[in-house]
Structures are given as C-alpha cells and as structure tokens.
Structure 1
Amino acid sequence: MRPTSDALLRRWHGMLGLSRQSPPSWYRDRLREELHERRTAKTSWQKLSETSDVLFSISRARYDRFPVRKLPPFVASRHVLVYAYMLAKYTLRWTFYRTAAILCNAPHYDLVREVVNPSKDHKLIEVASRHQIDPVEFKRVGRQLRRVWPLLP
C-alpha cells in the first residue's frame, strides 16, 4: 500500500469513526467470515462486493490497531474498482444511518456511526437500540429512505 492511499484510508476511517470492537479476536473472526463469503460468491458483482468487504475488514482492523493481515499492494489496474466500491458502499451506509437519525430527530445524530447493511429491518432496529432512538420510528424512516437511497450490496 502506498503512503498516499494508506493516508486516505486512515482519514476515511477517521471520518467513519466506528467504535473499536472487543475482544480483539472480533477482527479476525470478521475477516474469516468475509473471506468465506468471498470464496462462495458466484457472480462478478458478488465477488466485487465481497472483495470490498474483505479489504474493509483488513483496513478497519489496521486502523483500530489490531492488524489481522496486510492489505494487498495497491495496483491501480487491479484494485481501483474494489477500493472505489468499498469507499462508496460504506460511505453510503454511514450517511444513510446519519440521515435516518436526523430525520428521526435523534438528539445525538452525530454519534450515529454505523456501516451494517441497512437492507434488513432487524438491522435498523439494532442500530436504533444502540443509539437510544425509537426503533419503530427509525424502522419507518429507514424503510422510506431505502426506496430512494443508493445502497450497494
């Protein structure tokens, strides 16, 4: 990884501001899960999405100072699409949750820093409960937002 792209990822993870996970084995377990999903992906689209999840897991662990593996050296011809997809996918999710919190008039919407896939209602409820937001309202707003929000699988 070049210093410039490494700095970009550090800055991006800083903007996302995701909570550190505990125990540290969470990072290894998450990477194993993502690698399994990557291996079982069938279509090119699924492989791109799952590869971006693998890179996200590795870069997040590095950012949180629990390195589980090195990121592959950045080669524009091989990785630019995967990194662009990863940045778009997780930034859209992060912004989705922040927007939903604002629309729900959450008093501390700025503390909502989530990137789990919001395509399922139970994820919306989990996020609402983590942030003391009315889960019924958050699910309603999230459902409406999903109709217009560009989310990548």
Structure 2
Amino acid sequence: MRLPVDMLLRRWHRMLGLSRQSPPSWYRDRVREELRERRTAKTPWQKLSETSDVFFSISRARCDGFPVRTLPPFVASRDILLYTYMLAKYTLRWKFYRTAATLCNTPYDKVREVINPNKDYKLDEVASRYQIDPVEFRRVCRQLRRVWPLLP
C-alpha cells in the first residue's frame, strides 16, 4: 500500500512547491528536531501533531531527493487520521500565507511557506524572504489568524 501513498505525497509536495534546502544536512536536522519534539509531547493531540511533523519532514526530504529515513508501511486503520491531519495542517498553512500575500498586494503564487504562523518572528522571516513590508504582513496575518482554521 506504500506506492499510492508515495504518489499522493509526491503530488502534494509538488503542489506546495517548497524550496529545496541547503545544505542537505538541513533535512536530517529537521527530522531529528521533530523527533525530539515528538518524544516530549504529552497529550494524544500533541503526539498526533508532532508525529505529523515527523512524517512531513521525512516525506519532504524524500520528495526533495534527500531520503533521510523511510516512512513506516501505511496501514489505513492506524495511519488515516495521521495523514489526514498532516495534509490538512500543512495545506492550511500554505494557503494561509498565499492569502496573506494577496491581502498585502504580493503575487500569491510566489509565496510558498508552511511554517507555523503563530509567532511574529516567523512572520517577519517570511515577509523578508518575499520582500513584503513586515509591519503590514504581521498586521494582515494577525487579522487572518482570527478567522483562519489552523491546526497546531
């Protein structure tokens, strides 16, 4: 059952269109960081969220050509919630940034981000990457966060 899941993930990662990272060790470092956060998660909700981050990091690395680990075999009864959560979480973030860019009069198709928009310093990083006025971008994102469905 791995092949259909791999095809879906490849298609999804292409849609997100995130930039390849350099150096290649960046991918391994992200997976390690997410695994650490997964180990410290306490509640079932936190564990689901952190596990989705681990799976996202592994699948992104694989799709970008840097397979740092393999994903476990897909078992629908065990994994459907995890994959649904991961796809929703990162797609909502991706769309959030594209919407914010549009509201800041920036071509939305250039903005491709999935980092958590709940921290202002991360919004400043995104604004800087896309030459968007950081004050305006922060203001728009704060307003958008009030109504946008974001998963932790």
The answer to whether TM tops 0.5 is yes
2:22 matches 1:36: no
In the other structure, the counterpart of 1:134 is 133
In the other structure, the counterpart of 1:97 is 97
Alignment RMSD (CA, Å): 0.7
Rounded to whole Å, the distance in 2 between the matches of 1:78 and 1:4 is 16
Rounded to whole Å, the distance in 2 between the matches of 1:31 and 1:48 is 15
Rounded to whole Å, the distance in 1 between the matches of 2:20 and 2:49 is 23
Secondary structure of residue in 2 paired with 1:136: helix
Amino acid at match of 1:130: R
Cα deviation, residue 144, structure 1: 0.1
Cα deviation, residue 68, structure 1: 0.4
2:131 matches 1:146: no
2:65 matches 1:60: no
Amino acid at match of 1:123: K
Q: Please list every run of 5 or more consecutive structure 2 residues that lacks an aligned counterpart in the other structure.
A: none
Rounded to whole Å, the distance in 2 between the matches of 1:5 and 1:54 is 16
Cα deviation, residue 109, structure 1: 2.1
What does 1:60-99 align with in structure 2 at a 5 Å threshold?
Answer: 60-99=60-99
Secondary structure of residue in 2 paired with 1:35: helix
In the other structure, the counterpart of 1:22 is 22
Rounded to whole Å, the distance in 1 between the matches of 2:125 and 2:58 is 24
Cα deviation, residue 5, structure 1: 1.2
Cα deviation, residue 3, structure 1: 1.3
Amino acid at match of 2:139: R
Amino acid at match of 1:78: R
Q: Percent identity?
A: 82
TM-score, normalization: structure 2? 0.98
Amino acid at match of 1:84: T
2:3 matches 1:3: yes
Count of matched residue pairs: 152
Q: Please list every run of 5 or more consecutive structure 1 residues that lacks an aligned counterpart in the other structure.
A: none
Rounded to whole Å, the distance in 1 between the matches of 2:23 and 2:103 is 33
